[in-house]
Amino acid sequence: MTQATDAAPARIKDIPIEAADLPAAVSGIVRGGGRMQMAYAWYPAPGRIQLRYLGSRAQRDEYFMWRCEPRGPVPSVAAICPLLGWYEREIADLFGVAFTGHPEPNRLVLHEGARPWRPPFDPAYPADAILPFDPAEGGLPELESPDVQRLPFGPVRADVVESAEMVFLYVGEHIIHYHPRLFFKHRGMEKRFEGRTLAAGTILAERVSGVGSFAHALAFCQAVEQAAGCVVPERARMLRSLLAELERLYNHLHYLGHLAHTTTLKVGEAEGKLLEERAKQINARLTGSRFLRGLLIPGGLRRDLDPRPWLSGDLESLRERVATYTTMLENTNSHLDRLITTGPLAHDVAFDQGATGPIQRASGFDRDLRRDHPYAAYGGLPLAVPVRPSGDAHARAQVRIAEIDASIALIQRVILLLADGPVRAACAPPPGSDGLGWAESPRGSLFYAVHLGPDGSLARVKIKSPSFSNWRVFPFTVHDSNMMDYAINEASFGLTIAGCDR
């Protein structure tokens, strides 16, 4: 399924479903080899809640969207499709929908102690109301043995690190149970889209997660373009793919430097972050923004870019330095000893819990939205999708190393094929329309579902971010591991808390 081709973007199949039929329907998708992607709620009208479930029946099949309007409690499908568990809890917190039979019925977004006088996404909830809150501890297993120690770490942590509390139950160095408490800095980003114009929505999307600015804005714009049936000009599609790969480059280079930091490979850390800086300088020279902001708009790009003749040479120089750097990493025994067999993520756990991006590909899944559901210009570009089977920290690093080389090769191909032409088309979705956009961000699959109100402004924007998925998966690699490997394991996932909390 292609989001932007020579024809208008294809519509997503919108299928009504009764709440009572959800367990059987989800079970059928899972048993048939399909995959659910996310679930969310919104208010089509005051007092009328609608649930939406996104999935596909096979890896490269078109997406479908189930539409459900519950008249009471909804049967949970988390036991059938665990990755939907967090989405149900999020909906329960923010919309007040009750899910019966949920295996993890405790709060997710709203911490214990939050006392909203009505669900925060209720249209009657005042936008400027402060949420009443009394600090309280989160739910954890009761300690039955005096040998088991409890270590709450955070939410304020050392270094420039986002806020989260990591609770460890351990004996000696052995971690028995691990519970991350996130959403300390939940910013209500989805709520902030309500009532905004499409242009303002693009700017807001760029600020959901700083290191994924371009991917977020791209997914948002493509959702709007699908709602409008807008055909993005070819040159704009090509440049979008080029810019998306530049974002992948600096993210992966930062990842390698930070991973070296956790294995105490100081020279490796310094070189990785220097190469990240070189990649950001290329971004700034091409666009004026190190984080590739201010370029996208529904319909294409705000302005044209000229990557010739210098970009190809700069990328080749960067590629040579990266190749030397990654070869040294892969031949440094002290580094590899800390990565190999650390934090293994089993293939079936990765699928059931919703792992995405380099995390799932390092556990043996050959999945990538750029190839499986092409968008921008990816449908006409050669794309290597590296996969590793072992699922450990080393495999996660190897996938990113291979993706760096693949990204540079893809950018060079775009430069070679780039033709003159316009970079923007008119894009005016009709009031009341909706659309779905997606992108394979550096951390994995990213989706935006956009609903427009009767006045043409944004009525609801749902963000499915890769870190929301991968933070759910991560604890499965920490249980039954050891304290000395924890920082390395977390770094190997390349998680962001801002992308998860939103």
Query: How many other C-beta atoms can be found within 10 angstroms of the C-beta atom of residue 388?
Result: 18
DSSP reduced 3-state for 168: strand
Which residues are 35's β-sheet partners? 56
Band (185; pLDDT cuts 50, 70, 90): confident
The residue-averaged pLDDT of 273-299 equals 97
Q: Is residue 442 part of a domain?
A: yes
> Rounded to an integer, what distance in angstroms lies between the CA atom of residue 449 and that of residue 12?
11
Domain that holds residue 215: 196-465
Helices (H), 288-392: 310-329, 333-339, 347-353, 358-361, 369-372
pLDDT tens, 18-29?
Answer: 999 999 999 999
Q: Is residue 215 part of a domain?
A: yes
Q: Residue 128's pLDDT is what? A: 76
> Rounded to an integer, what distance in angstroms lies between the CA atom of residue 299 and that of residue 10?
15
Q: Is residue 228 part of a domain?
A: yes
Which residue from 26, 35, 88 is spatially nearest to 360, judged by alpha carbons? 35
Q: Is residue 157 part of a domain?
A: no
Q: Which position has the higher pLDDT, 126 or 242?
A: 242
> Is 7 a residue whose pLDDT tops 60?
no
Band (395; pLDDT cuts 50, 70, 90): very high
pTM for the predicted model, two decimal places: 0.94
Q: Is residue 376 part of a domain?
A: yes
Q: Which residue has the tokens 């008249």?
A: 71
Longest dimension (CA), the chain: 71
Q: Residue 4's pLDDT is what? A: 39
> For residue 216, what are its two tokens?
């977020």
256 Cβ neighbours under 8 A, 6+ residues apart: 268, 272, 325, 326, 329, 397, 400, 401
> Rounded to an integer, what distance in angstroms lies between the CA atom of residue 197 and that of residue 427?
13
Q: What is the dihedral of CA 107, 108, 109, 113, to 10 degrees?
A: 40
Whether 21 and 29 have beta carbons less than 8 Å apart is answered as no
Q: Is residue 351 part of a domain?
A: yes
The residue-averaged pLDDT of 289-308 equals 95
Q: Is residue 268 part of a domain?
A: yes
What's the CATH code of the domain at 279? 1.10.645.10
Q: Is residue 246 part of a domain?
A: yes
Fill in the DSSP letter of residue 110.
Answer: S
Which residue from 301, 272, 300, 299 is spatially nearest to 289, judged by alpha carbons? 301
Percent of the chain surpassing pLDDT 70: 96
pLDDT tens, 58-92?
Answer: 888 899 999 999 999 999 999 999 999 999 999 99
Buried b (16+ CB within 10 A) or exposed e, 455-466: eebbbbbbbbbb
Question: Structurally, how many domains does the chain consist of?
Answer: 1
DSSP reduced 3-state for 281: helix
Pairing of strands 165-171, 458-464: unpaired
> Is 6 a residue whose pLDDT tops 60?
no
The residue-averaged pLDDT of 319-345 equals 97
Q: Round the average pLDDT of the chain to a whole number and report it.
A: 92
Q: Residue 5's pLDDT is what? A: 44
